[in-house]
Structure 1
Amino acid sequence: MLRWLIAILVLANLLAFVLASGLLGALPASGEREPSHLNRQIHPDWLTVTPVASADATDQAVVGGPTPLAPIQASTLTQ
């Protein structure tokens, strides 16, 4: 009984590998999700990227820097 279960699990794993690797062809869901999305852009060449100026960078968080200390006062608890 256990041998049949192991054989069925091995065959199921082989079938899953064949389907995942694409040996039987591409899956229907593997195509483009929104093929008309790029066609609906009006002027994609007008889009420009500008670096952040130092005056605007003051609002940005510093990644990896020290965290600011919170204004919390600690006291002993009374029972």
Structure 2
Amino acid sequence: MLRWLIAILLLANVLAFVAMRGVFGPLPAAGIREPNHLNRQIHPDWLKVRALSAADAADQAVVGGPAPAPAIAASALAQ
């Protein structure tokens, strides 16, 4: 029974590999999905990219950083 499971998993991996290589055609995410969206933009040159200031960066979450200490008070239980 374990042999069949391994064979099925191996076949599924080969099928996924072949599909990702494009044997069955291009992937749906390979091309432009919304070509009309780019044509409908109004003044795309007005968009400016700027760096965050220190005050703005304080509100941003740090991904992969240590978890902050919980703001709770603990005390020993009375017996």
Q: CA deviation at 1:60?
A: 3.3
- How many residue pairs were aligned? 71
TM-score (norm 2): 0.50
Q: CA deviation at 1:43?
A: 0.3
SS at match of 2:36: coil
**Unpaired runs of at least 5, structure 1:** none
- Amino acid in structure 1 at the alignment position of 2:57: Q
Aligned: 1:19 with 2:19: yes
Q: Which residue of 1 aligns with 2:58?
A: 61
**Unpaired runs of at least 5, structure 2:** none
- How many angstroms apart in 2 are the aligned matches of 1:7 and 1:51? 51
- Amino acid in structure 2 at the alignment position of 1:40: R
Change (3 A) 1:49 1:78: same
Q: CA deviation at 1:22?
A: 0.7
TM-score (norm 1): 0.50
Q: Which residue of 1 aligns with 2:46?
A: 46
Aligned-pair identity in percent equals 56
When Rg is computed on C-alpha atoms for both structures, the one with the higher figure is: 1
Aligned alpha-carbon RMSD (Å): 3.9
Change (3 A) 1:47 1:2: closer
Structure 1 ranges of 4+ moved more than 6 A: none
Q: Which residue of 1 aligns with 2:76?
A: 76
- How many angstroms apart in 1 are the aligned matches of 2:78 and 2:15? 65
